[in-house]
Amino acid sequence: MTQQPEEPRMTEEATRSPKRRQAADLQGARDERLRSEREAQDREVTEEREITEAERLEFFRDSLQQSVLPDLPPIPGYHVCWLSTTHQRDTIAFRRRLGYQLIRVEDMPSWEGASAKDGDYQGVIAVNEMVAAKIPLSLYNRYMHEVHHRMPLSEEEKLKSALDTLKANAQRSGSAIVEEGEGTANVVQRARPMPEFTQ
């Protein structure tokens, strides 16, 4: 029996249309790019694992000190700060009612390049969505005293009152509340007068 010569087989590549070949090439390029990105991410993870805890702590400390916003120069008699124009609750209108005033370029001529050129805050010193503001120190000190002294003391008084009620209820039922360590002994201690802020 004589063998018939095999017909030459066409490779899969040769049978594809040019469009299909182009699509396959694009998919191959995408797959290669994804593979490269995954390898880069794996390298980053490996490199991160080599960082010591002390180095991470130092990085954390540095991140607390860094600021995207430049420091505003002090204005005698005022506290200066940056306010957000995009915050949903802490709005510029709310801050104005509290006594904050937006700082205009005329107040700080050296900051001309950082002023808003148009919109609601035209002529006000601005960086991205933040605007510069000032508030009289006398008012600022009153706010700080309220937030950092009077309000925490009020919360401590509530805790002390609740504890006294618990102790009285326990005593009426023949029980006692035993505190370990200092417990609540230092609650509602009158703090020294709050220092005045100077800027």
78 φ/ψ angles, rounded to the nearest 5 degrees = -130, 155
Domain count, the chain: 2
- The pLDDT value recorded for residue 46 is 47
> Contact 112/129 with Cβ under 8 angstroms?
no
Q: Would residue 93 count as lying in a domain? A: yes
Q: Which residues contact 187 (CB under 8 A, 6 or more apart)?
A: 156, 159, 160, 163
Residues, the chain, total? 199
Domain finish residue from 31, 66, 101: 66
Q: What is the pTM of this model?
A: 0.52
Same domain assignment for residues 58 and 82: no
Domain finish residue from 66, 91, 126: 66
Residues of the chain with pLDDT under 50: 11, 13, 45-46
Q: Would residue 175 count as lying in a domain? A: no
Give the domain extent around 84. 78-136
- The pLDDT value recorded for residue 86 is 93
Same domain assignment for residues 56 and 103: no
**SS3 assignment, position 63:** helix
Same domain assignment for residues 29 and 58: yes
Q: Would residue 177 count as lying in a domain? A: no
Same domain assignment for residues 28 and 50: yes
List, for residues 170-182, the tens digit of each pLDDT value. 888 888 777 766 6
Q: Would residue 163 count as lying in a domain? A: no
Q: Nearest Cα to 177, choosing from 165, 187, 163, 167? A: 167
Burial profile 82-118: b = 16 or more Cβ within 10 angstroms, e = fewer: bbebeeeeeebeebeeeebebbebebbeebeeebbee
Residue 159 corresponds to which tokens in the numbers above?
């805790």
Q: Would residue 197 count as lying in a domain? A: no
Same domain assignment for residues 105 and 60: no
- The pLDDT value recorded for residue 98 is 95
